[in-house]
Copies of this chain bind each other. A is one copy, B any other.
Amino acid sequence: MEIRFAKREDTPKILRFIRALAEYEKLSGEVVATEALLEEWIFDKGKAETIFAVEDGKEVGFALFFHNFSTFLGRAGIYLEDLFVLPEYRGRGYGTALLKKLAALAVERGCGRLEWSCLDWNSPSIGFYKALGAVPMEEWTVFRVAGETLRTLAKQDS
């Protein structure tokens, strides 16, 4: 098994993984990402990075991440947005290998933390993350403004 960074020409593969994850979560209807958008935001604007787990020349898992920031630590962290391993390749350590690679990248880049989000009903993943030593930030909730609400709030800016 090999882990490699995705390049611009891998954009179609990244989109396939995003769609596969959405399908797994039964949220396919929410995917509006296109190859053009991903190429622009990941490779032109550099707002995220992607690594693949590769077995026999085939990408069997992916992790998409970006840098977040801790004001208390005064430095960036790594935030894992998506982690997905093709169902037929589960249970062979690809997911763990991707997480370890991100931990190694965080240390290499001088980052203070590695973070990600998990759905509260996903007990198997939560157990796995806790076994790795991850701590759930249970007292925090993310608030989101999007779509028309975002545009309305923006228009009120004086």
Bin chain A's interface residue count.
35 or more
Do A142 and B157 contact each other (CB < 8 Å), given the known contacts A41-B69, A133-B152, A150-B103?
no
Name the interface residues of A109-158: CB closer than 8 Å to any CB of B: 112-121, 126, 129, 132-146, 149-158
Name the interface residues of A29-84: CB closer than 8 Å to any CB of B: 30-34, 37-38, 40-42, 45, 47-48, 64, 66-76, 79, 81-82
Interface residues of A, Cβ cutoff 8 Å to B:
15, 18, 21-22, 27, 30-34, 37-38, 40-42, 45, 47-48, 64, 66-76, 79, 81-82, 97, 99-101, 103-104, 106-108, 112-121, 126, 129, 132-146, 149-158
Can you offer 20 A-B residue contacts whose CB atoms are under 8 A? A37-B75, A38-B74, A47-B75, A47-B76, A71-B81, A97-B158, A100-B153, A104-B154, A115-B142, A117-B143, A118-B140, A119-B139, A121-B139, A132-B149, A133-B152, A134-B149, A135-B144, A136-B142, A137-B142, A142-B142
